[in-house]
Structure 1
Amino acid sequence: MTVSPLIWGITIIVILALLAFDYFFHIRKAHVPTLKEAAFWSSIYVGIAILFGILVLIFGGATMGSEYFAGYITEKALSVDNLFVFLIIMASFRVPREDQQKVLLFGIVFSLIARTGFIFLGAALINSFAWVFYIFGLILLITAGNLLKPEAHGDNQADNVMIRLARRLFHTTEHYDGDKLFTMHEGKRALTPMLLVMVAIGGTDILFALDSIPAIFGLTQNVYIVFTATAFSLMGLRQLYFLIDGLLDRLIYLSYGLAVILAFIGVKLVLHALHENNLPFINDGEPVPVVEISTGLSLSVIIGTLIVTVVASLLSKAGKAQTAINNARRHAVSYLDLDYTADISERERIYQMLADEEAQVLAMDLKYRNKAKDVDKIREQVAEAHRQHADYLARERR
């Protein structure tokens, strides 16, 4: 189905309006979203995406609608996986929690721009060279293999090439000045960590696009569906971050589920490439008679894999223990380093979360507790957080 320029224009205006609404009504005033606020707006954005999918189903037909939902669900799952890296980046830059929304919105806008460029580049390549499907399939199979590595969410992703280059070429400061991107430091204009963290997230977004765009092109070659599924999967990602912050580590099998999905789509792309083959060294340049995977089967595999992955993660005792221990460590470290934030309620919020997580850990079997890495160091950090909190309360009583 060919989408008219009018529909394209209306769609782009709606997406830009949603981003503008996000900025002017939520981001301009720095604050920490409540769980209720994050849950409400996450559901609104998911509802908008579903409503759009229903409209596509009605006006575009069952195939187009199925392709949109398959693409949206896949891109949304990949976006949730990306939140792991965002969490690492913002923790390493010690971004004040009240300013994290602005960083996330920048990441979403940059990601949308970068992926739009990749979408039209990918569409041009596909229309000109059928063998590109082989390349896309290979990229996804390699990505699926990388997701199976235990270091899939390594801390080194926060210190990418762009950050090292920025620090080498420009005068930078280690201290925040509210949400300003530039400040005066030692009598000179300097880049603040706020700008650097945006550069870090922008750099990683480009890497994410290299994985996500081939994935959705494996489900549909309709550029309008590729664009809208990608755009709506990014909408609401900021709210989702605050909604599931602290639960991300609980999804211990998410990487395995995504690996299965990407490998499946990679195989689908290779089969499609064989079906459209025009490479002279494969079957003398003639199409290879192979089975092609339908969109309905793709949608079923994607949804089924995600359900199994999430349920297995939530029911896993080892996953519960690892989540509580990781969160206790993260909040102990955050409590011991509170000088970066101006939010006076942040101390009590972090300490209460630390106390809750510590209680969960103590209630678990010893065999699960002792499986954590650096368990002795974590205990020391938690104990030091308790000591500093007691000192803080003593000072407040004076």
Structure 2
Amino acid sequence: MSEISGLTWGLTIGLVVVLLAVDLILAALRPHKVGFKEATAWSLFYIAVAIAFGVWFTVTYGSTLGTEYFAGYIVEKSLSVDNLFVFVIIMATFAVPEEHQHKVLTFGIILALIMRAIFIALGATLLSLFSFMFLLFGILLIWTAIQLFRHRDEDPDVENNIMVRATRRFLPVTETYDGGKLVTRVDGRRMVTPMMAVLISIGSVDLLFALDSIPAVFGITREPFIVFAANAFALLGLRALFFLVKGLLDRLVYLSTGLSIILAFIGVKLVLHWAHVDINPSIPEVDTYVSLGVIVVILTVVTVASLIKTRQDPTAKAHPGSLRASPPRDDSKER
């Protein structure tokens, strides 16, 4: 079924591994605070790589698959911005030193890529074997969209993350960081540092995002290679984007609303595809070009509306949204 050659798979995976290795080596050899100019340069570099790859892919495999790649990349890139909100909250919650945030983000991206690769392989297999999986994926995205819209003005409760609670319960955790180490010794006792809790928190958050992003991009294309490439190139630029826009994220007050609309749209698209295949071929499907146009328009409107809102009301603050209501806090005095 796939039109993608094994050579293309191999070269793409090799490129992703090389870029990740460069990121990881830079983070390990030269821990430092990433400035605006450096973040801008790396962000432009990763966007240029993604676009250049898309142009090559379009020329090689045709405009239909090329459009699916760019649509999938835009969806994953927009969802990755929501990831950044949560990363900012995690970094603040655990007071990660600025010189080690680069390393944390790089490891987080590697974990995200590994989990997405697993989900892509599983999702592609299920979709090829059972057409009703399109219906299930569609329902999952619609449910996610509804929950995200309901809790669009909330932040996820990082401290109550089940993985973080388990880490603190079953592992001895130090009160302070020891450089960038995950494990250290205190009075001769082997203990994990807060860095371990940070990585576990980011990894578990990545898992939750993968549950949404993989069905979403399968709503754009059923080609596993495009799903992988769109995810990989969107995630590769996440570290640089974090340092570039973390001071601007608060201004994207309608981003969660926009993402919920996009997820609902793709969910309906998947349901229509299932109905077209399994019920009646006369039931219309949503064309990929239409999907790309709708997604771009929604993101443009959301961004412009957010900037207008924060200019008119400087006290307005964006939130990443949550899939469930956050429990009441004792620190309500901060509100």
TM above 0.5, one fold?
A: yes
Q: Paired residue for 2:174?
A: 173
Cα pair 2:144 2:263 within 8 Å, conserved = yes
Q: Distance in 2 between matches of 1:271 and 1:37?
A: 44
Cα pair 1:106 1:198 within 8 Å, conserved = yes
Cα pair 2:159 2:165 within 8 Å, conserved = no
Q: Larger deviation: 165-174 or 71-80? A: 165-174
| Residue 184 in structure 1 maps to residue 216 in structure 2 | no
Cα pair 2:310 2:316 within 8 Å, conserved = no
| Residue 154 in structure 1 maps to residue 147 in structure 2 | no
Q: Distance in 2 between matches of 1:318 and 1:273?
A: 43
Q: Offset at 1:163?
A: 1.3
Task: Please give the secondary structure, in 2, of the residue aligned with 1:322.
Answer: coil
Equivalent residues in 2 for 1:307-346, closer than 5 Å: 307-317=300-310, 321-322=314-315
CA separation of 1:43 and 1:170: change in aligned 2, threshold 3 A = same
Q: Distance in 1 between matches of 2:240 and 2:107?
A: 13
Q: Which runs of 4+ in 1 moved over 4 A?
A: 323-326, 374-378
Q: Distance in 2 between matches of 1:164 and 1:196?
A: 9
Q: Paired residue for 2:104?
A: 103
Q: Paired residue for 1:292?
A: 285
Q: Offset at 1:287?
A: 3.5
Q: Distance in 2 between matches of 1:67 and 1:267?
A: 17
Q: Paired residue for 1:393?
A: none
Cα pair 1:138 1:266 within 8 Å, conserved = yes
Cα pair 1:250 1:320 within 8 Å, conserved = no
**Quick check: which has more Rg, 1 or 2?**
1
Q: Larger deviation: 180-189 or 42-51? A: 180-189
Q: Offset at 1:165?
A: 1.2
Q: Paired residue for 1:193?
A: 194
Cα pair 1:57 1:64 within 8 Å, conserved = yes
Q: Paired residue for 1:381?
A: none
Q: Paired residue for 1:47?
A: 48
Q: Distance in 2 between matches of 1:204 and 1:164?
A: 14
Q: Distance in 2 between matches of 1:22 and 1:173?
A: 27
Cα pair 1:145 1:259 within 8 Å, conserved = yes
Cα pair 1:159 1:200 within 8 Å, conserved = no
Q: Distance in 2 between matches of 1:301 and 1:113?
A: 30
**Residue type of the alignment partner of 1:15:** V
Question: Which runs of no fewer than 5 residues in structure 2 stay unpaired?
Answer: 320-330
Q: Distance in 2 between matches of 1:265 and 1:231?
A: 20
- CA distances 1:110-169 after superposition (whole Å, capped 9, x unpaired): 000000100010000000000000110011101111221345642413431111112211
Q: Paired residue for 1:68?
A: 69
Q: Offset at 1:317?
A: 3.8
Task: Please give the secondary structure, in 2, of the residue aligned with 1:44.
Answer: helix
Q: Offset at 1:215?
A: 0.1
Q: Paired residue for 2:95?
A: 94
Q: Distance in 1 between matches of 2:148 and 2:307?
A: 19
- CA distances 1:262-294 after superposition (whole Å, capped 9, x unpaired): 1110000000011121xxxxxxxx435311000
Q: Distance in 2 between matches of 1:65 and 1:110?
A: 27
Q: Distance in 2 between matches of 1:319 and 1:234?
A: 33
**Residue type of the alignment partner of 1:78:** L
Question: Which runs of no fewer than 5 residues in structure 1 stay unpaired?
Answer: 278-285, 327-373, 379-398
Q: Distance in 1 between matches of 2:318 and 2:301?
A: 24
Task: Please give the secondary structure, in 1, of the residue aligned with 2:185.
Answer: strand
Task: Please give the secondary structure, in 2, of the residue aligned with 1:180.
Answer: coil
| Residue 270 in structure 1 maps to residue 271 in structure 2 | yes
Cα pair 1:77 1:258 within 8 Å, conserved = yes
Q: Offset at 1:89?
A: 1.0
Q: Distance in 1 between matches of 2:157 and 2:248?
A: 21
CA RMSD of aligned residues (A): 2.0
Cα pair 1:251 1:319 within 8 Å, conserved = no
Q: TM-score, normalised by structure 1?
A: 0.78
CA separation of 1:235 and 1:219: change in aligned 2, threshold 3 A = same
- CA distances 1:338-375 after superposition (whole Å, capped 9, x unpaired): xxxxxxxxxxxxxxxxxxxxxxxxxxxxxxxxxxxx99
Q: Distance in 2 between matches of 1:59 and 1:122?
A: 25
Equivalent residues in 2 for 1:1-398, closer than 5 Å: 2-150=3-151, 153-277=154-278, 286-287=279-280, 289-317=282-310, 321-322=314-315
Q: Distance in 1 between matches of 2:263 and 2:189?
A: 48
Q: Offset at 1:325?
A: 11
Q: TM-score, normalised by structure 2?
A: 0.92
CA separation of 1:139 and 1:319: change in aligned 2, threshold 3 A = farther
- Percent of aligned positions with the same letter in both sequences? 49
Task: Please give the secondary structure, in 2, of the residue aligned with 1:95.
Answer: coil
Task: Please give the secondary structure, in 1, of the residue aligned with 2:314.
Answer: helix
CA separation of 1:41 and 1:265: change in aligned 2, threshold 3 A = same
CA separation of 1:375 and 1:100: change in aligned 2, threshold 3 A = same
**Residue type of the alignment partner of 1:203:** S
Task: Please give the secondary structure, in 1, of the residue aligned with 2:157.
Answer: helix
